[in-house]
Chain A
């Protein structure tokens, strides 16, 4: 089976998430308490919240990079006990390995899974082309702009056919034009996959553009979850801003 085939097949079974009375913190600081949230397989859930509300903490918990202090965090039916390839993450500060070229960064998840060189090269070429970086394939990350680096991260996250993609304010540091381009690219890329997406942002317009549902995070955890499809956009925008 080709990797492209694997991606589409894996995309059909997006991963669900459930947080049930979950609490998280670092050292003596509690960041989130009693969080309850369900993310359905294949949906795009955008988490919005003010700075310091714990959006990234929530995402790190779903990725398995941070253990819950209380309550449960489930990915599918299984408790999250650590990171795994089925939950790929895209970071705000690009998590590209600076000594690897674009191509070798994109190949990394496949190399970890011991996919043959030929298959790796084919899949990486396909994804690099999809994110529009064919001419930059042999460049190092330091030779790329912020937007290009985020494109590489996106390709690297998706090349391994994950069942969920966790995105931590990936476009937060980009200028308005690049950000709009990246949002279009993301929507385009996600069309071919049914992987679950949990996307963190503080930008309400970005949330409304990308989300199937928006979870608003406040000091006390998830304040509300809103459907974005079907309703009047402006009213929804006002409601989210009011909740923040």
Chain B
């Protein structure tokens, strides 16, 4: 190959590499748009099916004749959005869940690490925790009513209990699954137990901890809504149940949609923070949401 043709060859190679990258970039973008279309399309299809079933008063094995349609619910939702009470309920539920969840996160991570790292702490705490763990948090409502001076504290307690166990169990497993190599490395660099805790255990268990936080958030929503339905005076759960008792079915569905949206929002925040703080994990191009 002559000098000139070699240069031309290299140039054409360079063009084909950058052209290849551009094509790949367009393909990835195209896939991303398609995924969003699929996601939104799925929601629209579900709403469409709901509309058809309620508009035709379908009476299959399930009965749709008494269920309000999406139009009716949307109108009701629009009305609710203009009332102060709706936002008061929303705020009340959010305060309850965030307080219970934050306490559960701190306590769950602390106890999980303690049990996994200290045999004596495990001997003291594990029997009690394992005895309480199978009890559904919502079954503790009577105890919460007896123990706490106000309903508010009782509801936070129920939320805390619901989120605590997934966080604690995930943290415990994550600590135990840590490769000993990291700890050995820090110890041979002069690190004490405290250094191992801060430099290895806490950052190294974050993927597992965030798995627990994600599950904990979901369970916390189930329990806060249930607790509000039983003993609340405000909150989305209370309002939804109240709507049912006065035969306001569109109001019930507005409550359900609100709970779904809040649950999705808070879980997404946990997921997002989790992804941010575990950026060091190897991730495939196509993985994740």
- Residues of A at the B interface (CB closer than 8 Å) are 63-65, 82-85, 87-89, 91, 93, 95-99, 108-109, 112-113, 140-142, 156-157, 160, 166
Query: Least Cβ distance of A82 to chain B in Å?
Result: 8
B282 — nearest CB in chain A belongs to which residue?
A: A142
Q: Which residue in chain A gives the minimum CB-CB distance to B184?
A: A65
Residue of A nearest to B206 (CB): A99
Is the CB–CB distance between A160 and B200 below 8 Å? Answer: no
Whether B188 sits at the interface, judged by CB under 8 Å, is yes
> With A91-B181, A112-B195, A142-B280 in contact, do A84 and B190 touch (Cβ < 8 Å)?
yes
Interface residues of B (CB under 8 A from A): 181-182, 184-191, 195, 199-200, 203-204, 206, 278-282
The CA of A17 and the CA of B132, in the complex, are separated in Å by: 53
A40 to chain B, nearest CB (A): 21
Q: A97-B199, A112-B195 are in contact. Are A89 and B185 (CB under 8 A)?
A: yes
Residue picked from B184, B195, B204, most chain A C-beta under 10 Å: B184
* Contact indicator B186/A108 (Cβ below 8 Å): yes
Query: Smallest CB–CB gap between B215 and chain A, Å?
Result: 22
Chain B residue with Cβ nearest A84: B190
- The answer to whether A156 touches B184, judged by C-beta atoms less than 8 angstroms apart, is no
- Check A88/B189 contact, CB under 8 A, given A99-B204, A99-B280, A142-B282: yes
Do A97 and B203 touch across chains, with their CB atoms under 8 A apart? yes
Task: Tell me if A's interface is mostly helix, strand, loop or mixed.
Answer: loop
Contact of B190 among A93, A99, A112, A141 (CB under 8 A): A112
Shortest distance from the beta carbon of B183 to any chain A beta carbon, whole Å = 9
27 A-B pairs within 8 Å (CB atoms) are namely A65-B184, A65-B187, A65-B188, A83-B188, A85-B189, A88-B188, A88-B189, A89-B185, A91-B181, A91-B185, A95-B182, A95-B185, A96-B185, A97-B185, A97-B186, A97-B204, A98-B280, A99-B206, A99-B280, A108-B189, A109-B190, A112-B186, A140-B279, A140-B280, A142-B280, A142-B281, A160-B189
- Residues on A with beta carbons closer than 8 Å to the beta carbon of B200: 97
Q: Which residue of A lies closest to B200 (CB)?
A: A97
- By a CB distance below 8 angstroms, the chain B residues around A65 are 184, 187-188
Please indicate the chain A residues that have their CB under 8 angstroms from the CB of B185 in the complex: 89, 91, 95-97
The residue of chain B having its C-beta at the shortest distance from the C-beta of A160 within the complex is: B189
> How many angstroms from the CA of A87 to the CA of B206 in the assembled complex?
30
Complexed CA–CA distance, A160 and B195 (Å): 16
Secondary structure type dominating chain B contacts: helix
Q: How far is the CA of A160 from the CA of B181 in the complex (A)?
A: 19
Among B184, B206, B282, point to the contact of A95 (Cβ < 8 A). Answer: B184
**Chain B positions within 8 Å of A141 at CB level:** 280
A65-B187 Cα distance, complex, nearest whole Å: 8
Which chain B residue has the least Cβ–Cβ distance from A156? B189
A95 with B181, Cβ < 8 A, contacts A83-B187, A112-B191, A156-B189 known: yes
The 8 Å CB contact of B184, one of A85, A89, A113, A160, is A89
Task: Let me know if A108 and B188 touch, CB within 8 A.
Answer: no
Most buried by B among A82, A83, A93: A83
When distances are taken between beta carbons in the complex, the residues of chain A under 8 Å from B204 are 97, 99
Nearest Cβ distance between residue B79 and chain A, in whole angstroms?
Answer: 49
Chain A minimum-CB-distance residue to B194: A112
Task: Give the CA-CA distance A85 to B195 in the complex, in Å.
Answer: 13
Residues of B within 8 A of A99 (CB): 203-204, 206, 278, 280
- Chain B residue numbers with a CB within 8 Å of A98 are 280-281
B188 x A97 contact (CB < 8 A): no
How distant is the Cα of A83 from the Cα of B280 in the complex, in angstroms? 27
Q: Which 6 A-B pairs have the closest CB atoms?
A: A85-B190, A95-B185, A89-B188, A109-B189, A99-B280, A83-B187
Least CB separation from B280: chain A residue: A99
Does A113 contact B182, Cβ atoms closer than 8 Å? no
Chain A residues with Cβ below 8 Å from B203 are: 97, 99
> With A and B bound together, what is the CA distance between A166 and B189 in angstroms?
11
Closest chain-A Cβ to B209's Cβ sits at a distance in Å of 13
Which chain A residues lie closer than 8 Å to B187 at the CB level?
A: 64-65, 82-83
